[in-house]
Amino acid sequence: MSLTRKSAAELAALMASGEVSAVEVTQAHLDRVAEVDPKINAFLHVDAEAALEQARAIDARRAAGEELGPLAGVPIAHKDVFTTIDMPTTAGSRILEGWRPPYDATVTRRLREAGLVILGKTNLDEFAMGSSTENSAYFPTRNPWDLSRVPGGSSGGSSAAVAGYVTPLSTGTDTGGSIRQPAAVTGIVGMKPTYGGSSRYGLIAFASSLDTPGPFARNVLDAALLHEAFSGHDPLDSTSIDAPVPPVVEAARHPDVAGLRVGVVKEFAGEGYQQGVLNRFHDSVELLESLGAKVVEVSCPSFTTALPAYYLIAPSECSSNLARFDAMRYGLRVGDDGTRSAEEVMALTRAAGFGPEVKRRIMLGTYALSSGYYDAYYGQAQKVRTLIARDFEAAFQQVDVLISPTTPTTAFPIGERADDPMAMYLADLCTIPANLAGNAAISVPCGLADEDGLPVGLQIMAPVLGDDRCYRVGAAVEKAFESRWNGPLLKEAPAL
């Protein structure tokens, strides 16, 4: 089997045993980048020489007898919203084109400390605002299953790279579903950890009370290994939880759901859902019952108000966070010819540097925070957020985990929703509640839709710091499907 077809855990074992070097593994994946990325456009920046230098350093440390981490030498693609001192960090925006940060994000630093080899930075919706990666200021990324369709968003470059066997692992961020939704539509595993379980330091902020770094992988164990590698308390992030990382790797290695109470969210299975998605979800429910789980229906009535609440809270926070892009300190500067005031330069720079979706959300958020409207819009949305958290608390008194489809439809064609923001926002209908409450949630593949043969995702939601439950159930579903299909549920994406 080609090195690029192996899992992260398999690659790590091969390198640890001396059967293959980190340089060989890295070169194989760089060759795959050269072969596949012109078709899918997953990367904004690739630094082959730096990646090989990292791999050579890992090989030298291993040869010297140094004890290395469980993912040492494994290649990874890094979402271009985390600062990297040795590569540009653009957040998919023209306003940061070519910017090289003076520091690494905590997630970046921990990847390096774990010995992972960073191949490059992946494409995303500008400032992580979108569900299709069409909002990137540079180019859209394409779904490896069908190059005419989106790979989800905002972490579409990261999901496409993993689904296209360009890398076994990648990082993403999840603000309203930006890891789970792209994972679902590209047929891979994507995890949103508990909010505060992974550091936001050095993550270019979209909505600070929602943004959550998390892993992508082609199987549940690999995702757990990466989750463990970069998570944990960070004193540089004031919202970081000072608690041990849940035992996610142990849970992924021992999938057993016998006796587990699983709640099906009543509100996430009605009108607007593609029939093929519902069919695969019902298959997953039957599978869990066959494994000994006790499945019951659970009502979370406030979940139906999550989408409008989110699209007040997230834009409000982005309108505040993006005020830092003022053309004065770093990034793009337009019209600074010595005749214009700072305010004029700022306005010209923002007009040229921000894309349409970013401008839309800034305006929505500024309006929601404005005098006379704050209580009616932002304040009310925060009250709804509290009701959603209470619904989760009540549900988890009855069950151990909640499940739903990850997204109402499979991947949609590029351009189909570009002029319809509401249709685009509906892609995150099922994922947003977990962000508003801060819960852990994962998407795992559960088959292909009948209508189009495209991947469908099963979402598993757990309480705060119950991340290991997501991996336990996800790994059980994965193992059972593989047994049923006599091999991996989803083979290589056919478009490649």
Identify residue 376 by its one-letter amino acid code: A
Between CA 134 and CA 177 the distance in angstroms is 16
pLDDT of residue 253: 97
Q: What does the buried/exposed string (b/e) look like for 184-202 if buried means 16 or more CB atoms within 10 Å of the residue's CB?
A: bbbbbbbbbbbbbbbbbbb
Specify the higher pLDDT residue, 197 or 271. Answer: 197
pLDDT digit string, tens, across residues 428-485: 999 999 999 999 999 999 999 999 999 999 999 999 999 999 999 999 999 998 887 6
Mean pLDDT of the chain: 96
Residues of the chain with pLDDT > 70, as a percent, come to 98
Helices 48-63 and 8-17, axial angle in degrees (round to 10): 50
Asked if the model's pLDDT at residue 491 lies above 80, the reply is: no
Between CA 313 and CA 385 the distance in angstroms is 9
Q: What are the residue numbers of the active site?
A: 79, 154, 178
- Within 10 angstroms of residue 337's Cβ, the number of other Cβ atoms is 7
Query: What are the sequence ranges of the domains in the chain?
Result: 3-302+386-485, 303-385
pLDDT digit string, tens, across residues 171-216: 999 999 999 999 999 999 999 999 999 999 999 999 999 999 999 9
Between CA 330 and CA 484 the distance in angstroms is 54
Between CA 126 and CA 93 the distance in angstroms is 5
Q: Which residues contact 486 (CB under 8 A, 6 or more apart)?
A: none
| 462 beta partners | 440
Between CA 166 and CA 142 the distance in angstroms is 13
| 79 beta partners | 122
SS3 content of the chain, % helix, strand, coil (to 5): 45, 15, 45
**Cα angle 7, 10, 11; round to 5:** 85
Is the CA virtual torsion 135, 140, 145, 148 positive or negative? positive
Identify residue 304 by its one-letter amino acid code: T
Spatial contact of 436 and 461, defined as CB atoms under 8 Å apart: no
Which run of H or of E encompasses 459?
A: strand 455-462
Identify residue 148 by its one-letter amino acid code: S
Mean local confidence (pLDDT), 315-327: 96
Pick the CATH number of 3-302+386-485 from 3.90.1300.10, 3.40.640.10, 3.90.1170.50, 3.40.50.450: 3.90.1300.10
Bridge-based pairing of strands 294-298 and 261-265 is: parallel
Query: Of the candidates 108, 63, 64, which has an alpha carbon nearest to the alpha carbon of residue 85?
Result: 108
Between CA 397 and CA 385 the distance in angstroms is 19
